Structure 1
Amino acid sequence: MSLQCLFMFLFLLAFAESQSTIHPFNHTDLQAAIGDMRAKSFYGFAMLLQMLNGTSQPTRDFTFLMPDDRELSASAISADQIEEFLLSHAIPMPLYFYDLSHFPTGTLVPSGISSRMIRIHNRGRGDFFVNNAQIVSANICLSSVIKCHGVDAIIEYD
């Protein structure tokens, strides 16, 4: 009987810890971020988020690194790759450009995919790269906890 109690205790402990680090997804924040993206002409990225919104439930707030519509239209993203694409263009915490600008060149930050890291190349506001993509439009999403910045390319990983 004590083995069962120990198992139940460990299960409850793991469940409680997972609940404390992951908060419920706020659809209002997502809709506000999508509105900000549309207002700055990032229609393609907003559309991808809306497509994902119907099939998946993100569990944290992100900083999205959004390629412009021209870059998105040149890429081949299938319906089953949308979530992976969005997560590979995300940092799993909301960061204004001011926050990003404090990372020195060479800093590695996690992407939304645990096995992929984003390398920061910081040479100032006009010359700030995440992997191969330059941030060209900072602080697009300001109406929600979700933050986003426009980039000039699809982010590539080594």
Structure 2
Amino acid sequence: MALHCLFMILFLLGFAESQPSFTHPFNHTDIQAVIGDMRAKSYYGFAILLQMLNGTSQPNRELTFLMPDDRELSASSIPVDEIEEFLLTHAIPMPLYFNDLSHFPTGTLVPSGIGSRMIRIHNRGRGDFFVNNAQIVSANVCLSSVIKCHGIDAIIEYDN
């Protein structure tokens, strides 16, 4: 089991290092499908942030977004020139359903969309699953695209 986890972590790290962050263009249909899924589950703030990048940059690969709810987003200040970085720090560089995430044991580190920032998994089951400080409260929000997303209850914090 430990060897399997080690190989998965190495694969994810290699994948994160080999992929650029956001570039243009990306399949516009996928982005619109993801934004529609986010809106349908009341993640309007995250959908707006993703739309703000429309025309300037777009995700060029399959991702898993970890979306804080609107209350959390409205309580934070995200400078316009840091929206892309914010979205990437709330992303994993491969599409993962919650069932995929649930296979990671507690303590597993997975890369965020920013290669130098790692997300620590705290897995105590579906109702008690954390990524760093944020609990996944709404699994599998985005299902209409290759991009996946899950709702979280806080903005993800990273150790400096």
State the TM-score, normalized to the length of structure 1: 0.84
Structure 2 CA distance for aligned equivalents of residues 53 and 89 of structure 1: 18
What's the counterpart of residue 97 of structure 1?
A: 98
The residue type equivalent to 2:70 in the other structure is D
What's the counterpart of residue 119 of structure 1?
A: 120
Q: Deviations over 1:17-45 (max 9, x none)?
A: x89xx9x6211111101000000000000
What's the counterpart of residue 51 of structure 1?
A: 52
Shift of the alpha carbon at 1:64? 0.2
Structure 2 CA distance for aligned equivalents of residues 57 and 138 of structure 1: 23
Structure ranking higher in helix proportion? 1
Q: Deviations over 1:49-103 (max 9, x none)?
A: 0001221132211100000000000001010010000000000000000000000
Q: Deviations over 1:101-127 (max 9, x none)?
A: 000000000000010000000000000
Structure 1 CA distance for aligned equivalents of residues 58 and 45 of structure 2: 19
What's the counterpart of residue 75 of structure 2?
A: 74
Structure 2 CA distance for aligned equivalents of residues 142 and 57 of structure 1: 18
What's the counterpart of residue 11 of structure 2?
A: none
What's the counterpart of residue 15 of structure 1?
A: none
The residue type equivalent to 2:59 in the other structure is P
What's the counterpart of residue 14 of structure 1?
A: none
RMSD: 1.6
What's the counterpart of residue 85 of structure 2?
A: 84
Is 1:142 equivalent to 2:143 in the alignment? yes
The residue type equivalent to 2:157 in the other structure is E
Structure 1 CA distance for aligned equivalents of residues 63 and 127 of structure 2: 23
- CA radius of gyration, larger in: 1
Moved over 3 A (4+): none
What's the counterpart of residue 32 of structure 1?
A: 33
Corresponding residue SS for 1:53:
coil
Unpaired runs of at least 5, structure 1:
1-17
The residue type equivalent to 2:89 in the other structure is S
Shift of the alpha carbon at 1:48? 0.2
Is 1:65 equivalent to 2:66 in the alignment? yes
Shift of the alpha carbon at 1:133? 0.1
Unpaired runs of at least 5, structure 2:
1-17
